[in-house]
Structure 1
Amino acid sequence: MVERKSQHSQNSEYSYQLPPSLELGDAKLPINKDCIFCEMLISKGNMVYEDDLVYVFKDIDPDAQYHYQMIPKWHIKNLAQLNSENALHRHLVSHFYDKGFSLVKMLHPDLINSDIAQIKDADADLLRIGFHRPKCTSIDHLHMHMMVGKRKWKASWQFCWLFYRSISDVKSELVDKAKVAKL
């Protein structure tokens, strides 16, 4: 649920109320009124999927046959701001992981094998799910690319993929290592 904090100020801010199912208290998380992705959350522009934590939309300048962006419903600048000690960040990354693979499977069953284990190990030419590292992010709002099908080659693409992290790598680093550390 997105709510306006103040309707009287020119610089009014937005915040996102976490769903009660997360049991993380009454935390309200920020939405940046100057961020194009936060603006999409508010306007519900180009939506493909939405739930309590994430919003998914079609990329307006696709790098593949099918290209989607998954963003959290509050403003997190980039991967560098995620912390394995933060329970909400771990939950969000796990959700990105699970929802990313299930969405591409649902949206493109003709291109993606129905076996989820094979999807996660798919050829990078068919499926890429992940993030650009901060040196190569074009928008300062955490966003996960979900690209399915034939890729379109752009001049900047090869350089930017040097700064790419798969969702599997991010989950392993933030969620799986945190679980092992607790043992």
Structure 2
Amino acid sequence: MSDSEHGDGCIFCKIIAGDIPSQRVYEDESVYAFKDANPKAKIHVLIVPRRHYANVAELAKADPRTLAHIVEVAQSIADQEFHGAYRLIFNSGEDAGQSVFHVHAHVMTGEVLPE
């Protein structure tokens, strides 16, 4: 999906644009990472591509390089914030818990996480 097809209502597009404040953790030309406002772990960061894709399957099909980069950024965050261990979660679809339909990876670490 192109940037213009997402509409003006995407909260993550607004965060990336700087219209909504966030606690930035990392950014480059293809992704933006920020602290989750409602963390489920000691370290809970969201990584989003700057281009709008509805879910991880759409991203993988359109831009697999950015998907791989998200994994690299997740590892870097875990290396800096913990000893490299982390959980990486993509919720894809409303029934799977996706509530914002701009693909995003949850990086959770900083402690031993329950199964």
TM range (shorter): 0.7 to 0.9
Q: Unaligned 5+ residue runs, structure 2?
A: none
The separation in 2 between residues aligned to 1:69 and 1:83, in whole angstroms, is 17
Pairwise CA distance, 1:151: 7.1
Q: Secondary structure at the match of 1:61?
A: coil
Alignment match, 2:15: 40
The separation in 2 between residues aligned to 1:90 and 1:82, in whole angstroms, is 7
Does 1:139 pair with 2:100?
A: yes
- Pick closer, same or farther for the CA change 1:82–1:74 going to 2, 3 Å: closer
Identity of matched residues, %: 30
Does 1:105 pair with 2:73?
A: no
Higher relative contact order (CA 8 A, sep 6+): 2
How much is the aligned-residue C-alpha RMSD, in angstroms? 2.3
* TM-score of the superposed pair, with normalisation by structure 2: 0.81
- Structure having the larger proportion of residues in strand: 1
Give matches, 1:122-161, under 5 Å. 122=85, 127-134=86-93, 135=95, 136-150=97-111
- Pick closer, same or farther for the CA change 1:78–1:151 going to 2, 3 Å: farther
Pairwise CA distance, 1:50: 0.7
Which residue among 43, 49, 52 is the counterpart of 1:72? 49
The separation in 1 between residues aligned to 2:110 and 2:73, in whole angstroms, is 18
C-alpha contact 2:59 2:103 (8 A) present in aligned 1: no
Pairwise CA distance, 1:80: 3.2
Alignment match, 1:90: 64
Q: Unaligned 5+ residue runs, structure 1?
A: 1-28, 113-118, 159-183
C-alpha contact 2:60 2:67 (8 A) present in aligned 1: no
The separation in 1 between residues aligned to 2:112 and 2:11, in whole angstroms, is 25
- Work out which of the two has the higher radius of gyration on C-alpha atoms and give 1 or 2: 1
Q: Kindly provide the amino acid, as one letter, of the partner of residue 81 in structure 1.
A: E
Alignment match, 2:3: 30
Q: Kindly provide the amino acid, as one letter, of the partner of residue 30 in structure 1.
A: D
